[in-house]
Amino acid sequence: MNAEDFNPFKSLNVHDELPEEDRKKVLDTIDTMKFIIGVADLFTTKQVEVNTDIFSAFVSSSFKETNG
Amino acid sequence: METAEKILVEDISSLSDRQIIEQILLTGKTVYFGALYDRYANKVYRKCISMVKSREDARDLTHDILVKAFLKISSFQGNSSFSTWIYTITYNHCIDFLRQKQKNRVVEYNNVTDGHDLEEVDEIENKKLFEIEVGRLKELLFELSEDDRAIILMKYQDEMSIEQIRTVLKLSSSAVKMRLKRARDRLRKLYEKTYGTR
């Protein structure tokens, strides 16, 4: 490399590497977050869907009972 | 199962960042994020060390930044490269961390433009900075404020354009140029003060 092209900023900390176990930690945290989001979703969006289904079934059966 | 996983990993390595992100959004599989981790984790870690100095803090920050990146990945628009996007999260996260640590420190910045042709002085100033020896540079950077350090690293380590820095810092182009000039001046003065005028 030409001395004039040398950029010392590019050489900062180049030998520092994360320990191998950190990869597992990050991916495990992500899996946990996905699980939590999934559970939260179950009790919000999906719960509304289930409630709507139950309500529709109830209304439908009441309607049938009333109108024979 | 193990073989299928192995094939998948080999397949992923041939994908571009953008294709991997599409797969994350499509399948939600963590293995795809693992591929992005392999490409960027050490780069993020090194940037964190450059910002916060302590390797322990940098490890924790890298963990948080990468988890944050995964959670926010649907907001990646593809207007910039993935590296620029994740470095944006990195700088902002590190700056927030340092500000939390030093709540009382007042960093003074004004959005002033003084009429100097900033482009012109760029070339000469860059040359001066590039003459600083790596070990000294590392020490000097920690003498600067977190904002100065971040903008210097964005410009000279990541080679971000003014436009890209402007997006990261949510500033006008002239404010970025002014901040950059001031940060560079402070670094140069610090160097001269510490190691003598050359």
Tell the burial category of A12 from Cβ atoms under 10 Å away from its Cβ (0-12, 13-18, 19+).
buried
Please write the tens of the pLDDT for every residue from B17-67: 999 999 999 998 889 999 999 999 999 999 999 999 999 999 999 999 999
pLDDT-based confidence at residue B111 (cuts at 50, 70, 90)? very low
- Minimum-distance CB partner of B130 among A6, A16, A30: A6
CB B154 within 8 A of CB B165: yes
CB contact under 8 A, B46 and A30: no
Q: How far is CA A19 from the centre of its chain?
A: 25
DSSP B79: S
Residue of B nearest to A19 (CA): B59
Please write the tens of the pLDDT for every residue from B162-180: 999 998 888 999 999 999 9
CB contact under 8 A, A8 and B134: yes
Which residue carries 């139950």 as its tokens? A54
Q: Which residues of B touch A11 (CB under 8 A)?
A: 134
Q: What is the dihedral of CA B185, B189, B192, B198, to 10 degrees?
A: 40
Both structure tokens of B45: 């870690």
- Minimum-distance CB partner of B66 among A17, A19, A26: A26
Q: List domains and CATH numbers for chain B.
A: 2-101 (1.10.1740.10), 118-195 (1.10.10.10)
pLDDT-based confidence at residue A42 (cuts at 50, 70, 90)? confident
Spatial distance between the Cα atoms of B159 and B153, rounded to a whole number of angstroms = 8
Spatial distance between the Cα atoms of A50 and B171, rounded to a whole number of angstroms = 47
Concatenate the DSSP letters of all residues of B139-173 into one string: HHHTTS-HHHHHHHHHHHTS---HHHHHHHHT--H
pLDDT-based confidence at residue B110 (cuts at 50, 70, 90)? very low
Handedness of CA B53, B54, B55, B57 (dihedral sign): negative
pLDDT of residue B142: 93
Query: How many Å lie between the alpha carbon of B128 and the closest alpha carbon of chain A?
Result: 11
pLDDT for residue B109 is more than 50: no
Question: Which candidate, B195, B181, B38, B10, places its Cα nearest to that of B110?
Answer: B181
Q: How far is the CA of B184 from the CAs of A7, B10, B141, B191, in angstroms?
A: 15, 44, 11, 11
CB B58 within 8 A of CB B48: yes
The ipTM is: 0.73
Amino acid, single-letter form, for residue B35: A
Residue of B nearest to A17 (CA): B42
CB contact under 8 A, B71 and A33: yes
Query: How many Å lie between the alpha carbon of A56 and the closest alpha carbon of chain B?
Result: 32
Q: Which residues of B touch A18 (CB under 8 A)?
A: 41-42, 45, 59, 62
Residue of A nearest to B155 (CA): A9
